[in-house]
Amino acid sequence: MDWLLELWPAQLQPRLDHLWNSLDFWRALALGLVTLLAALATFRKPLLQRLTRRGLAPRDRELFRRFLEVLPSEGSIAFLGNADFGNAFDKHRLDDLTRFYYGWDNPGHQFLDQALEEKRMELFVAVVQLLDVVRLHTAPNQAGLQSVVPVNVDPDADLPELIREGIRHLNGAAKTVVSIHQEIVRLGNRQVP
């Protein structure tokens, strides 16, 4: 350590004195600090998220896996994404939604991650609304399929406004469920390492 103290006055101090007294040095230092501060201000939120991100807790990872088993992107969600409720449909195509409705409204199925839990609740509400709209606006037809169009109405004819409104409600509710489900899947996949 003594050698560093001897080196300082003999070698380093004269070289650094020139640097400390240089206006170019201070300008470059100030420019670098301003650039750093501007970058931090601009990218503050993504940097904080990246620095504080720990991924999902093991419990949430397991719950997310079970969520995808109960309500996968295939099955009911895929059906809703492609459905036109102006046509009759098999009500069993909504079984995944019914299982989610009956099984996922309890504390054992709540995510610890706040963003995922908010989306799960949003999806639950959307599923409830969709199932209510199905219950209110559909009935079985002669083929045993659910249909918004009553048995005594020709589906190829100009439909009454009440029936067209039911079809719009069902199509809108279906798109909402699919959209929220996709958001949950994206959010969960981003956080699962």
| Mean pLDDT for all residues in the chain | 85
- Distances 44 to 47, 48, 49 between C-alpha atoms, Å: 5, 6, 9
Round to whole Å and give the CA distance between 193 and 190: 8
In the predicted structure, residue 83 carries a pLDDT above the cut 80: yes
Q: At 190, list the tokens.
A: 């981003």
Q: Are residues 100 and 40 in the same domain?
A: no
Q: Are residues 92 and 133 in the same domain?
A: yes
Query: How many Cβ atoms sit within 10 Å of the Cβ of residue 158?
Result: 6
pTM above 0.75, yes or no: no
Query: How many Cβ atoms sit within 10 Å of the Cβ of residue 47?
Result: 12
In the predicted structure, residue 5 carries a pLDDT above the cut 70: no
Lowest-pLDDT range of 4-18, 63-77, 134-148? 4-18
Q: Are residues 181 and 154 in the same domain?
A: yes
Lowest-pLDDT range of 69-73, 95-99, 101-105, 188-192? 188-192
Round to whole Å and give the CA distance between 152 and 17: 98
Q: Are residues 128 and 83 in the same domain?
A: yes
Question: Domain range holding 14?
Answer: 2-52
Quick: pLDDT tens for 39-78.
Answer: 878 877 776 665 555 667 888 889 999 999 999 999 999 9
Q: Are residues 37 and 91 in the same domain?
A: no
